């Protein structure tokens, strides 16, 4: 299929990209890996009249350790995250998450910034960055700001980013020895996108759970941090009973989406099951 006509511009630096978007306004869109935008343009769901290609902006492509944070440039590809020795060592759950995305061809070009900006409720990163309590750094010509991940996902396919802002960095706290994390997705057989996905980060105090961040995607229109489940876990022993009890609270009061393949009833139930699996995986029980 063929996209509607558009003009193509190539930015060689962050500044250049930001200037172009300031000048063009809302009719323009950034083109990163193109793995979400181009498919949408091909079926003409998306019809930007101008594309600003940022895929060659090398300064936004990095993974570095900076004190208590890992900093990831917005243009870092899924494949780079999956293969990065820093990520594998410091936040292995993120490497695993990146590995779960699509196939190697797509992971070679798709970027974490593009995926987060796209805010697909079935994508792999959202629950993981929620559980890991990441911080998003967004930049426009006028300013640079930090957005806590809890405030980032607004609606299906809408993130807390202004049209003239570029997602330049993702900051993720380095995992401590008493912190355990895991991620599992149940993919749709057609696309591999999540029917349900879940990520957890558990802080242990000996046998007890001191803190818990439990996040879900796939079965809701906006990936979210399940605070009810998280709160329930606090102070509880890290065992099967606790997990089973907590699973009853998953998605409580939430509107769940469904389709002909997996309806809402099933997804709600599946979310509980996946939560149990993720917790067992994180706690290695």
Ligand X SMILES: Cc1cc2nc3c(=O)[nH]c(=O)nc-3n(C[C@H](O)[C@H](O)[C@H](O)COP(=O)(O)OP(=O)(O)OC[C@H]3O[C@@H](n4cnc5c(N)ncnc54)[C@H](O)[C@@H]3O)c2cc1C
Binding site for ligand X (CB under 6 A): 29-37, 39, 74, 101-102, 106, 110-111, 113-115, 117-118, 123-124, 161, 166-167, 191-193
**Closest CB to another protein among residues 15, 265:** 265
Q: 107: helix, coil or strand? A: helix
What CA–CA distance (Å, rounded) separates 35 from 107? 9
Q: How far is the CB of 179 from ligand X (least distance, A)?
A: 23
43 binds, among ligand X, another protein, none (CB under 5 to 8 A by kind): another protein
Determine the straight-line distance between the first and last CA of the chain, rounded to whole angstroms: 48
173 binds, among ligand X, another protein, none (CB under 5 to 8 A by kind): none
Are 234 and 211 in contact by the 8 Å Cβ rule? The answer is yes
Are 249 and 228 in contact by the 8 Å Cβ rule? The answer is yes
Are 58 and 80 in contact by the 8 Å Cβ rule? The answer is no
34 binds, among ligand X, another protein, none (CB under 5 to 8 A by kind): ligand X
**Closest CB to ligand X among residues 181, 209:** 181
118 binds, among ligand X, another protein, none (CB under 5 to 8 A by kind): ligand X
**Closest CB to ligand X among residues 121, 230:** 121
Question: Residue 10: phi, psi to the nearest 5?
Answer: -115, 125
- Using CA atoms, how far residue 141 sits from 22, 55, 74, in Å, is 7, 19, 16
The alpha helices in the chain, defined as continuous H runs, are 14-24, 37-42, 78-83, 85-90, 92-100, 104-109, 112-118, 125-131, 227-233, 240-247, 264-283
2 binds, among another protein, ligand X, none (CB under 5 to 8 A by kind): another protein
What CA–CA distance (Å, rounded) separates 140 from 147? 13
Q: How far is the CB of 169 from another protein (least distance, A)?
A: 31
**Site residues, another protein (CB under 8 A):** 1-2, 4-5, 43-44, 186, 188-191, 259-263, 265-266, 269-270, 273
**C-alpha torsion sign, points 94, 35, 135, 125:** negative
Q: How far is the CB of 152 from ligand X (least distance, A)?
A: 12
Q: How far is the CB of 218 from ligand X (least distance, A)?
A: 10
Q: How far is the CB of 193 from ligand X (least distance, A)?
A: 5
177 binds, among another protein, ligand X, none (CB under 5 to 8 A by kind): none
Q: What is the DSSP letter of 205?
A: E
**Closest CB to another protein among residues 49, 191:** 191
Q: How far is the CB of 4 from another protein (least distance, A)?
A: 7
**Closest CB to ligand X among residues 33, 230:** 33
Q: What is the DSSP letter of 141?
A: S
266 binds, among ligand X, another protein, none (CB under 5 to 8 A by kind): another protein
Query: Which H or E element spans position 206?
Result: none
């Amino acid at each position: 299929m063929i996209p509607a006509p558009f003009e193509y511009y190539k930015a060689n630096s962050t500044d250049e990209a930001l200037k172009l978007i300031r000048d063009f306004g809302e009719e323009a869109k950034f083109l990163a890996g193109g793995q979400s935008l181009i498919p949408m343009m091909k079926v003409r769901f998306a019809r930007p009249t101008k594309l600003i290609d940022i895929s060659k902006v090398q300064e936004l492509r990095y993974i570095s350790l900076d004190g208590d944070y890992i900093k990831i440039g917005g243009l870092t590809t899924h494949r780079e995250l999956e293969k990065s020795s820093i990520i594998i060592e410091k936040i292995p759950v993120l490497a695993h998450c990146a590995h779960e995305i699509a196939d190697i061809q797509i992971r070679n070009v798709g970027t974490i910034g593009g995926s987060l900006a796209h805010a697909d409720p079935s994508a792999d990163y959202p629950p993981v960055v929620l559980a890991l309590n990441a911080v998003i750094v967004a930049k426009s010509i006028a300013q640079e700001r930090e957005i806590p991940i809890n405030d980032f996902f607004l609606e299906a396919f809408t993130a807390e980013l202004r049209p003239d802002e570029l997602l330049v960095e993702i900051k993720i706290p380095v995992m401590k020895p008493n912190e355990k994390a895991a991620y599992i997705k149940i993919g749709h057989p057609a696309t591999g996108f999540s029917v349900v996905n879940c990520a957890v980060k558990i802080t242990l105090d000996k046998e007890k759970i001191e803190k818990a961040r439990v996040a879900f995607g796939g079965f809701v229109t906006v990936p979210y941090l399940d605070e009810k489940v998280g709160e329930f876990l606090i102070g509880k022993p890290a065992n099967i009973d606790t997990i089973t009890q907590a699973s009853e609270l998953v998605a409580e009061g939430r509107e769940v989406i469904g389709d002909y393949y997996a309806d809402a009833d099933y997804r709600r139930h599946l979310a509980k099951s996946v939560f149990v699996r993720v917790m067992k995986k994180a706690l290695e029980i």
